Amino acid sequence: MDHRTLVWTGAMILLLLLGVALLGPAIAPYSPTEQHLEQDLLSPSQDHLLGTDKLGRDILSRILYGARISVLVGTSTVGVSLLIGLSIGSLSGYCGGWVDQLLMRLVDVLMAFPGILLAIAFTAVLGPGLNHVILALCLIGWTGYARLVRGEILALREREFIHAARALGGSPGRIIVLHLLPNLLPPLLIQATFGMAAAIIAEGSLSFLGLGVQPPTPSWGSMLNEGRQFLLIAPHLTTFPGLAIMITVLGLNLVGDGMRDRLEKRGK
């Protein structure tokens, strides 16, 4: 596929996800928390298109509501992480010297540990819950943006247009915002798409471990956790939320890959 096909395919998947997240309550056939114990573990049927879980709750309704959690976690984590990483990376790259050394050593320490392990540790300390999951993912998610921004600024700060801005008396903040930031947007957007995919996977992992969204709130990760004990007798409990995560991450990766291919072609 060329980069346009990748971007459009991924964008259609993401638009579908956004529509499901926004319209979930209106299009869900049942309440996601309504229990019918006499209808537990039903296979997909006309009444319940994706079946029911161990408490008789409609899986389709829970997946539709769970899309909201994924969109909220992905956008919140990327937004906050991007702001932190942009600030620290800009300061490190533009100032250089001991400031650069200090900030980059902090980044090196955090990136030396697997991200999911740090997220588990932070969530274990903070306690389970959606807000704590987002906070934990932000605490580990900013490092990649900081390193990217620093590298781009190091490559740009000696360019002629930056020297000209300095000669005209531009302050560091003004130079970063007006002259450097516009050149950082393409690689940052690419990084953000991959970061959102990673955040959704991490939230699903934490919820699967019982550290994320707590019952009865539906989350794709918590649905995987609840369905794993019935994997042999009711595989649809894990199949459909797993597919929801896979398709969402696929859409984000397609958009990211397409934008990266286009940026590389423009660079040549």
Q: What's the pLDDT tens digit per position in 152-176?
A: 888 887 787 777 877 877 777 788 7
Over 80: is that where the pLDDT of 81 sits? Answer: yes
Model pLDDT for residues 194-226, shown as the tens digit of each residue: 999 999 999 999 998 888 888 888 999 999 999
Q: Residue 110 is part of which domain span? A: 3-26+66-267
Q: What is the pLDDT of residue 266?
A: 65
Share of the chain above pLDDT 90, in %: 58
The total number of structural domains that make up the chain? 1
Q: What is the pLDDT of residue 2?
A: 65
Residue 39 lies in a domain: no
Point out the least confidently predicted range of 5-9, 27-31, 165-169, 180-184.
165-169
Residue 146 lies in a domain: yes
Residue 38 lies in a domain: no
**Contact (CB, 8 A) for 134 and 76:** yes
224: left (phi over 0), alpha (psi -120 to 50) or beta: alpha
Over 70: is that where the pLDDT of 267 sits? Answer: no
**In 3D, which of 88, 106, 107 has the Cα closest to residue 153?**
88
Q: Residue 44, SS3?
A: coil
Q: Residue 58, SS3?
A: strand
Residue 191 lies in a domain: yes
Residue 215 lies in a domain: yes
Q: What is the pLDDT of residue 41?
A: 92
Residue 10 lies in a domain: yes
Residue 182 lies in a domain: yes
Residue 46 lies in a domain: no
Q: What is the pLDDT of residue 176?
A: 78
Average per-residue pLDDT for the chain: 89
Cα–Cα distance, 147 to 103 (Å, whole number): 10
